[in-house]
Every structure is written in C-alpha cells, then in structure tokens.
C-alpha cells in the first residue's frame, strides 16, 4: 500500500447513525397548486371573438375597415395571444398544476384558434368581395 492517507471512515461500512432515513429528512415546502392562466385565456378568447363581431358588423354595413380589423385579429393578433397563453401555461405546468377538469384549456385554445383563423379568412373573403364590388361599380 502507499503512504497516502484516506479520509476518516473511507473503506468502512456506514453505521446506522450516519445514514439518513426518509423520515429524518426535512419536510418539503408545500407548493401552491396552480392552474391555467385565466387572464391570458380570456384575452386570447376575446381576440378570437373580435373577428366574429367585426364580420357581423362589417358585412351588414359593407365596411371594409371593420372587415380588415376582423382579418387582422383573427389571423395575426389572435395567434400572438395564443402564443402568450401557451407560454404562460407552460410556466404554470412546470409547477404544481391542476387542469380545469371538463375540457383542457390547451385543447379548447387550439379549437378557438382554428375558429378565429377561419373567421379571419371569411373576413378576407368579404373584403375581396367589397373591393371587387367597388371596382366594378366605378
């Protein structure tokens, strides 16, 4: 053997007093159980409902600016709100998390996003009709 000194207790079996048992462990702090971010979800749903309102108002009055706003909310601003909701939901899921129960907000948000996209495209369709109507009549 070499003349190197081993640390005290090296090469020996641990004794009962040196081994920590799970009941001796300090208690873990209780985490607050969070859920999906409600505020971001409400903002997202509002951004996706605006195209429906603008579509209803814009086609009755033949208002191209309302339809353009509906198109922008349905296809662009709604997607940004969706990303904000998903990022916030991911942050909440990294902690203790409890879903809403009946319907997952992630699943609902995907369907709401697709509906908003569809309404935005319908707004774009009516914009094209109004522009072509103005071109033909002038």
- DSSP codes of every residue in the chain: --SPPPPTTTTSPPPGGGSPPGGGSPPPPPPP-B---HHHHHHHHHHHHHHHHHHHHHHHHT-HHHHHHHHHIIIIIHHHHHHHHHHHHHHHHTSSB---SSS-HHHHHHHHHHHHHHHHHHHHHHHHHHHHHHHHH-
Let me know if residue 24 belongs to a domain: no
- Whether the pLDDT of residue 6 is over 60: the answer is yes
Region of poorest pLDDT, from 15-19, 31-35, 60-64:
15-19
Let me know if residue 4 belongs to a domain: no
Let me know if residue 26 belongs to a domain: no
pLDDT (0 to 100) of residue 114: 92
- Whether the pLDDT of residue 40 is over 70: the answer is yes
pLDDT (0 to 100) of residue 55: 83
Region of poorest pLDDT, from 2-16, 69-83, 103-117:
2-16
Domains held by the chain: number: 1
pLDDT (0 to 100) of residue 83: 92
Q: How confident is the model at residue 82 (pLDDT cuts 50, 70, 90)?
A: very high
* pLDDT mean over 38-48: 87
From CA 122, how far away is CA 6, in angstroms rounded? 78
Domain that holds residue 70: 35-137
pTM for the structure as a whole: 0.66
10 Å Cβ neighbour count for 67? 28
Let me know if residue 6 belongs to a domain: no
- Cβ proximity of 124 and 54 under 8 Å: no
């Amino acid at each position: 053997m070499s003349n190197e000194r081993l640390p005290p207790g090296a090469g020996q079996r641990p004794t009962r007093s040196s081994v920590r048992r799970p009941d001796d462990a300090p208690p873990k702090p209780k985490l607050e159980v969070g859920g999906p971010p409600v505020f971001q979800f409400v903002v997202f749903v509002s951004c996706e409902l605006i195209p429906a309102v603008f579509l209803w108002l814009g086609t009755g009055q033949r208002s191209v600016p309302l339809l353009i706003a509906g198109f922008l909310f349905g296809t662009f601003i709604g997607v940004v709100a969706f990303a904000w909701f998903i990022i916030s939901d991911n942050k909440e899921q990294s902690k203790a998390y409890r879903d809403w129960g009946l319907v997952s907000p992630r699943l609902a948000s995907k369907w709401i996003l697709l509906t908003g996209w569809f309404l935005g495209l319908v707004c774009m369709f009516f914009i094209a009709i109004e522009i072509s109507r103005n071109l033909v009549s002038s």
